[in-house]
Amino acid sequence: MNQSLGALEEIILLLVLREKESYGAELVKLYVNQMSKEITLPAVVMVLKRLEKKGFLKSRVGEPTAERGGRRKVMYEATKMGYRLVEEAMNAKNSIWDMVPKLS
């Protein structure tokens, strides 16, 4: 299985790791707020499904809520493997970033 992460995958995974679990709509809102650019929901869900298939996420069907018109949401939670992968990726990036001379 492909164990590397794409840029969008990495960000979505990070956003999921932020709390215990999260779902599509919330991730879109967070993404838009944090990255200040637009994204379509299917793109996010697509990434979530792919991450789940790779084993970095697991999902459960949540309770229906009124604000979603009575529809159930699917909640995603990061697995240990997911956490490790992001940790590795961030460490690698941070160590490279440390080598970059800082502008004053």
Partner 1 sequence: MNSLKKSKFKPPSIALWILKLFCRKEYMEEIKGDLQEVFDWRVNSKGPFKAKIRYFLDALSAIRFLRFSKSDSSKFNTAMISSFIKSSFRNFRRHWSYTLLNVIGLSLGMMAALFILEYVSDELSYNDSSQADQVYRVSNDYYRFNKMIYESSMTFSGVGPAMERDLPEVESYARLYSASIGWGGAMILTRPDEPDIKFKEDKLFFADPNIMEFFDLEVTHGTNELGVLNRIMLTAPMAEKYFGSVEAALGKTLRYNDNLTQYELQVAGIFKKPKFNLQVDFDVLISYLSREQSDPERFQNDWGGNAFITFVKVMPGADAGKLEADMSELTLRYRPGYAEKNEQGEYDRVNSYFLTPIANIHLNSKFQNEVGPIGDATTIRLLQIIALFIVTIAWINFINLTTAKSVDRAREVGVRKVMGAKKNELVLQFFTEAFLVNLFALTLAIGFVLLGQPLFDQFVERPLLLKSIDFATFGIPMISTFLLGALLSGLYPAFVLSSHQVVLALKGKAKSTSGIGLRRGLILFQLLFSSLLMIATMAINRQLNYMNNQDMGFDMEQVLILRGPVVREVRGPENVPKIKLFKDRLKSMASVNNVGTATIIPGQGILRGIVVSRVKGGDPSLKSIERVVASNDFLSTLDIKFSSGRDFDESIKGYEPIIINQRAARELGFENDQDAIGQLLYEFGSEEKRIVGVFQDYHHESLNRPIDPMYFIRNEGFDTFYAIRLTADEVSNTLTQIEALYEESFPGNPARYYFLDQYFNNQYKKDEVNSKVFSAFAIMAIIVACLGLYGLSSFSALQRTKEIGVRKVLGAKVKGIFFLLSREIIILSILGFALAIPIAYYGIQQWLDGFAYHINISALLFVLPMLLVLAVTLLAVSQKIIKTALMNPVKSLRYE
Binding letters toward partner 1, positions 68-97, x by CB under 8 A: xx-xxxx-----------------------
Task: Single out the residue of 61, 62, 57 nearest to residue 47, CA to CA.
Answer: 57
Nearest Cα residue to 9 out of 45, 51, 42: 51
User: Minimum distance from CB of 77 to partner 1 (Å)?
Assistant: 15
**Do 17 and 82 touch, CB atoms closer than 8 A?**
yes
Would you give the end-to-end CA distance of the chain in angstroms?
A: 43
- Which residue from 3, 19, 41, 92 is in contact with partner 1, where contact means CB under 8 A? 41
Q: Which residue among 2, 36, 40, 94 contacts partner 1 (CB under 8 A)?
A: 40
Q: Which residues bind partner 1 (CB under 8 A)?
A: 23-25, 28-29, 38, 40-43, 45-46, 49, 66-69, 71-74
